[in-house]
Structure 1
């Protein structure tokens, strides 16, 4: 007499339900962690840009001191870089696009626009009141750099502000919206 072999053609309904429940539980834990890692990466990039801005500012301040330039220009690779109060001017197209070298192209983008052209976008000669509170002045000397897919209003950018008052520039990052 032959015994009947169990069917191995597929999954039972119970097995499928168990797999779906397990995948649902895993997704509930993995997706938020992935989203948080993505945000942390954006924040890290913006903070690194702010650090690069601080280092660049310090180098050009030293160069201005060596050359005795308080208000004027210093030369870099054939470009005339404007200095105000001994520090880099808050001017994207005239200064920062030439001096900030972070291994990425940073394109000028109008203030209200989404960054789409490159990984990072920049703008300068802005008044800080609309973007960064607590700066020493509201003069149009603010430079901001933000990531692709964002607008400045999203609060995810690095900034440099030279108030031209003889004190060092204020440099930092706003990452609440990253």
Structure 2
């Protein structure tokens, strides 16, 4: 007759404690390793560029509304104590930044009839931008666009 000690010696497999320890170790490794492999900073930069685009659109629309109330399509108007130059009833590229309250990692460049806002920590300066171009005439809004391919 076999003793109960010999029966346990022939059993194979893992105990419940061993399985729980392995699962806990794998969970700890997953929590520490996954953020290194999943980089969401590019998505965050692209989202902020889209937010700048939305801010440009809102600022232009609010200035246009004030210009309509004042009955002006050209010249200067005062908004929040700042002088804004109008082109076809919308702020010009040099004035739009006065209406923007952007801080942090953005730089802007105004040249001619356009202003470009770029994320300073982007992979490519030209691939992570929001732009504002003056209204072509009184029937069209300013062209506000964004590029988020290399954020």
1:170 pairs with 2:147:
no
Matches within 5 A, 1:100-119: 100-101=100-101, 104-105=102-103, 118-119=104-105
TM-aligned CA deviation for residue 151 of structure 1 = 8.5
TM-score normalised to structure 1 length: 0.60
**Partner of 1:47 in structure 2?**
50
| Partner SS, residue 47 of structure 1 | helix
Structure 2 contact 67–90 (Cα < 8 Å) conserved: yes
| Partner SS, residue 176 of structure 1 | coil
Matches within 5 A, 1:95-134: 95-101=95-101, 104-105=102-103, 118-125=104-111
Structure 1 contact 147–156 (Cα < 8 Å) conserved: yes
TM-score normalised to structure 2 length: 0.70
Instruction: For 1:151 and 1:122, locate their aligned partners in 2 and report how far apart those are by CA, in whole Å.
Output: 17
CA deviations over 1:24-64 (Å, ceiling 9, x no partner): xx84x54331x2x1100000000001001100000001011
Structure 1 contact 146–152 (Cα < 8 Å) conserved: no
Q: Which of 77, 84, 89 is the equivalent residue of 2:92?
A: 89
**Partner of 1:114 in structure 2?**
none
Structure 2 contact 72–89 (Cα < 8 Å) conserved: yes
- How many residue pairs get aligned? The number is 123
| Partner SS, residue 46 of structure 2 | helix
**Partner of 1:156 in structure 2?**
128
Instruction: For 2:137 and 2:99, locate their aligned partners in 1 and report how far apart those are by CA, in whole Å.
Output: 22
**Partner of 1:146 in structure 2?**
118
Unaligned runs of 5+ in 2: 1-24
Instruction: For 2:123 and 2:64, locate their aligned partners in 1 and report how far apart those are by CA, in whole Å.
Output: 30
